[in-house]
Amino acid sequence: MTMKTAKGHDRLSEMVDRQPTDIVLQNGRNSLVYLIHGITGTPVEMRYLARGLARRGGDVYATTLPGHCTSLRNLVRTNEQQWCDHIAAQLTYARARYEHVYVAGLSAGSLLSLEASTLVPVDGVGVMSPTFFYDGWNTPWSHAILPMALKLVPESLQHLLFHLDGPPYGVKDTMIQAHIRASYNPRGVFHEWVNLWWEGHESGAAGNGTEPPSAASKGYPLFPLRTLTEIDRLMKRVKKNLANVSAPTVILQASDDDMTGPRNAQFVHDEIASLRKQIVLLDDCYHVITVDRQRQAVVNHLAEFFQLNTHARHGSEEQRQNEPVAR
């Protein structure tokens, strides 16, 4: 297994709209798992999952959604249609180069994976912590007034209002919580927000302790109302289209999800048309299941459902059969 760079002559080197922050792992198999991080997140939250799936026999591509891994200003300039178009273009590219293609997403990324499966033929869908209803035990009070805010605040001003992510940050592991808390320092958060409305503002000088956290590694600590508007549109779009999802689908969710409870998993299961579908509830983690205490269980369940080990064995047999025979 190797990590390819953009200079590598491989099937993914010319991926549509490939970004430096994308995670690409290849081992020469005929199956690809395409991973989608959550909105305001980064491909880093898929790194453990990507490596685990690659070890089980699949090539892996973890994309960077438009507007992510740069600045909040870039994020609020993107919309759900751009996210969907980006994924559809990359999956179309992959579909032409792999025998088996699977798509899996986290949180709002799981909604994008469901939508993508109706646009590009895929062999399976992984839905992790689906986000249709904010009914987790730590849902902030601000979500109760979100529908009203979306209607009353003009879109031109929605970037000025935001929800600030707070403990436990979607993870049960206390060490990871502490790491996230340290990266989201108040000064950094303030500068992120100022950058949204002050076009000429520059973040604090290097070394003065006021730099915002790295968007490429930690994601954004703020959820601008403008972005929540786009997530709301995505939810409505995917809800209407769930009956068109027919690919085999596995739904993984924490039974104690702090943001979106198991009702979300059941909703997806009941609404999609897939003949092969399964719910897996995890009992020792919160919303961000790809980095939390049961991340290895997530790897195992996806690899088993996508039958990556089987594809790996078949690939090895085909490679042996195609090898030249000494005479």
- Alpha-carbon gap, residue 16 to 24, rounded angstroms: 13
Structure tokens at 227: 């972005």
- The structure's pTM equals 0.83
* Distance between CA atoms of residues 10 and 28, nearest Å: 9
pLDDT digits (tens, 9 = 90+) for 70-109: 888 888 889 999 999 999 999 999 999 999 999 999 999 9
> Band of the pLDDT at 276, cuts 50, 70, 90?
very high
- CATH code, residues 2-138+233-317: 3.40.50.1820
Locate the domains of the chain by residue range.
Answer: 2-138+233-317
pLDDT digits (tens, 9 = 90+) for 117-150: 999 999 999 999 999 999 998 876 566 656 665 6
- CA 148 to chain centroid: 27
d(CA 247, CA 41): 26
Inter-CA distances, 186 with 37, 125, 195, 215, 278, Å: 25, 38, 14, 15, 41
The number of beta carbons lying within 10 Å of the beta carbon of residue 277 is 19
Spatial CA neighbour of 254 closest among 167, 129, 130, 131: 129
pLDDT at 147: 62
Question: Distance between CA 67 and CA 77 in Å, rounded?
Answer: 7
> How far does Cα 290 stand from its chain's mean position?
9
pLDDT at residue 196, as a whole number: 53
What is the three-state SS of the chain? Answer: CEECCCCCCCCCCCCCCCCCCCEEEECCCCEEEEEECCCCCCHHHHHHHHHHHHHCCCEEEECCCCCCCCCHHHHCCCCHHHHHHHHHHHHHHHHCCCCEEEEEEECHHHHHHHHHHCCCCCCEEEEECCCCCCCCCCCCHHHHHHHHHHHHCCHHHHHHCEEECCCCCCCCCHHHHHHHHHHCCHHHHHHHHHHHHCCCCCCCCCCCCCCCCCHHHHCCCEEEHHHHHHHHHHHHHHHHHHHHCCCCEEEEEECCCCCCCCHHHHHHHHHCCCCCEEEEEECCCCCCCCCCCCHHHHHHHHHHHHCHHHHHHHHHHHHHHHCCCCC
**In this predicted model, which residue has the larger pLDDT, 230 or 183?**
230
Residue 314 has pLDDT above 80, yes or no: no
Q: How far apart are CA 70 and CA 90, in angstroms?
A: 20
What's the token pair of residue 253? 């969710």
pLDDT in tens, 159-185: 555 666 678 889 999 998 888 877 766
Looking from the CA of 46 toward its CB, the CA atoms found within 13 Å total 35
